[in-house]
């Protein structure tokens, strides 16, 4: 019962972040699955990849209804992301759990800093009217591969990398980038599931189902209220939470390296 409650709460928090920002769900998902639900790091990474992918799809439905999901661009970027997910998930087998978590914490800090330093005049780079002609195909395909590698290796959806790529590589508006990002994260979740199955590696499907239930509630709520809160407020609040979690992960896992 404790694990069920922990998984629902974890899913809700992850889904809320995902629905609000189009990313960030798995930045919370892996630490929550490890420290609250109690999964082993490798198992948490695989479970997170699948659970966040399903949660992302639920959140994307709201954006589909508003026309914010551009499927052609999503499938384009998702195609190379899927390749990256398989390679990344294969490589992480050779890395110990504490090392993976430390790498994850460092990525969290990097993302937090980028969120705080995000330029308010970014909208000047949008070219919505030309988005079907303004796609930088090499950039979209290349960043799809990179985000897929990161997703597979550390177990994150990669929304914080995908959204900027869609803004700058395809000239999308913010809401379009968020909606399309959620669709791509869903595709990567499927790729993660297939990858783990092909490698014969475990995914906790019972925790995944409970996590998704919480994520459905949080994601739906996040997608609804996202437009009512200023982007700056969201970024600073989420970055603060990311820094706190990253600090806890580092303090907990650096002693386990036994390098002193």
How would you write the pLDDT of the chain (260 residues) with one tens digit per residue?
778 899 899 889 888 877 776 666 667 788 888 888 988 888 888 888 888 888 788 778 878 888 889 998 899 888 898 888 888 888 877 888 788 788 878 877 887 787 677 654 444 444 443 444 567 788 788 878 887 887 788 766 666 667 777 877 777 777 788 788 889 888 888 888 888 888 888 888 889 899 889 988 887 787 777 666 666 776 677 778 778 878 888 888 888 776 54
The full 3-state SS of 29-98, as one line of letters, equals HHHHHHHHHCCCHHHHHHHHHHHHHHHHHHHHHHHHHCCCCCHHHHHHHHHHHHHHHHHHHHHHHHCCHH
Identify which of 36, 31, 34, 30 has the alpha carbon closest to the alpha carbon of residue 9: 36
Query: Could you give the residue ranges of the DSSP H alpha helices within 66-204?
Result: 71-91, 97-116, 137-154, 159-170, 174-198
Q: How many CB atoms lie within 10 A of CB 1?
A: 5
The predicted pLDDT at position 32 comes to 87
The number of distinct structural domains making up the chain is: 1
Measured distance CA(222)–CA(178) in Å, rounded: 12
Domain span at residue 135 reads: 2-257
The predicted pLDDT at position 210 comes to 92
The predicted pLDDT at position 215 comes to 84
The predicted pLDDT at position 121 comes to 42
């Amino acid at each position: 019962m404790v694990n069920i409650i922990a998984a629902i709460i974890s899913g809700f928090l992850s889904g809320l972040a995902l629905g609000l920002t189009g990313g960030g769900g798995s930045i919370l998902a892996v630490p929550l699955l490890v420290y609250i639900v109690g999964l082993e790091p490798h198992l948490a990474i695989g479970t997170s990849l699948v659970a966040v992918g399903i949660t992302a799809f639920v959140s994307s439905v709201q954006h589909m209804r508003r026309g914010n999901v551009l499927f052609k661009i999503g499938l384009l970027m998702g195609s190379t992301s899927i390749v990256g997910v398989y390679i990344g998930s294969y490589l992480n087998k050779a890395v110990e759990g504490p090392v993976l978590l430390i790498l994850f914490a460092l990525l969290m800090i990097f993302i937090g800093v980028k969120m705080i330093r995000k330029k308010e005049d970014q909208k000047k780079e949008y070219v919505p009217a030309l988005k079907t002609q303004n796609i930088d195909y090499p950039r979209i395909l290349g960043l799809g591969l990179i985000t897929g590698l990161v997703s597979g290796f550390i177990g994150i959806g990669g929304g914080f990398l995908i959204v900027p790529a869609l803004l700058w590589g395809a000239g999308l508006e913010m809401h379009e980038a968020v909606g399309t990002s959620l669709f791509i994260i869903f595709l990567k979740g499927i790729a993660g599931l297939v990858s783990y199955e092909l490698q014969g590696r475990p995914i906790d499907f019972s925790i995944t189902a409970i996590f998704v239930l919480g994520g459905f509630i949080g994601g739906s709520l996040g997608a609804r209220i996202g437009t009512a809160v200023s982007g700056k407020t969201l970024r600073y609040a989420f970055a603060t939470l990311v820094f706190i979690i990253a600090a806890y992960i580092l303090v907990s896992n650096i002693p386990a390296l036994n390098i002193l």
